[in-house]
Amino acid sequence: MDATKTRPLQFQRFDRLNRTLHILMIVSFMSLALTGMTLKFSYTGWAGVLSRMLGGFESAGFIHRGAATVMFGIFVTHLWDLNRKRRRDYEGSFWKMLTGPNTMLFTRRDLRELVGSLKWFVGTGPRPRYGRWTYWEKFDYFAVFWGIFVIGSTGLMLWFPVFFTRFLPGWFINVATIIHSDEALLATGFIFTVHFFNTHLRPEKFPMDLVVFTGRMPLAEFKRDKPAEFDELVASGKLEQNLIWPYQQVVIRTYRIIAWTALAVGTLMILWIIYAMVFAYR
């Protein structure tokens, strides 16, 4: 008998496509951030070391463009997946998808949960009964949407300046460099601190939450973390359809290594950025 089937079933939170897209996002974002910061902080000793490891500044630029292409691919695939879900789960209606109970858009309930969370943090209220997506998960999601729009569009201007200056004034390229560079710094700072804290370092998940890699979470954890979603699935009789066998230990261990590596690289980058900005800024 398969050893994994002797353990209790788990709740499936993410499907295979979304897990794959998230791993590709980690790889492309880290590559973009590492190669980009090597250019931005080229005056620090670390940038020299990193650029040598990456094959020189020119090859860092080449990796940057390659990773950017992967990121655009992730974005388009995600939009395609949303459209597929609209047809499959929402009778073809965007409106139903965007106003349904599992919407990614901010609603009044998110505001209530934000206020409830603040009260809970200071011990004056109970933990809100979060549903499928919490307000901080929605915020992280739209931060990426916004980031791809702003960083991606300015990145394309830097990549194809001759094309863009056919219809934009030349100074736009200078402005695009500043926006790209500063928004990239903001995105890197946000992902490697706030996003890491929200997902892995908050006390309920510390030190690591593997759900985005395995797609699965133990039922007891699901019930505690997202009680409203759990209750809705039980009430509608749909919980069973969302249960799945856990992965084998070897798979979980592999994901753990990938996740810790990403966490370590991100944290080292934050330290490098602080050092570059505070002690070596030019």
Footprint on this chain of ligand HEM (rule: CB under 6 A) = 29, 32-33, 36-37, 39-40, 61, 64, 68, 71, 151-152, 155-156, 158-159, 180-181, 184, 187-188
> Would you say 29 or 133 has its CB closer to ligand HEM?
29
Q: How many CB atoms lie within 10 A of CB 215?
A: 19
Distance set, CA 264 to CA 56, 80, 280 (Å): 23, 32, 23
Distance CA 173, CA 159 (A): 10
Q: For residues 144, 269, 212 and 225, what is the CA-based torsion angle, rounded to 10 degrees?
A: -90
Q: How far is the CB of 131 from ligand HEM (least distance, A)?
A: 30
Q: Which is nearer to ligand HEM, 39 or 258 (CB)?
A: 39
The tokens for 130 are 């979060």
The torsion of the CA quartet 218, 220, 224, 230, rounded to 10 degrees, works out to 80
Closer residue to ligand HEM in complex, CB, 43/206:
43
Q: How far is the CB of 77 from ligand HEM (least distance, A)?
A: 14
DSSP class of 133: S
Closest approach, Cβ 267 to ligand HEM, in A, equals 15
CB 219 to ligand HEM: min, Å: 36
- Residue 36 or 128 with smaller CB distance to ligand HEM: 36
Closer CB to ligand HEM, residue 2 or residue 58? 58
Q: Is the dihedral of CA 77, 217, 188, 49 positive or negative?
A: negative
Q: How far is the CB of 182 from ligand HEM (least distance, A)?
A: 8
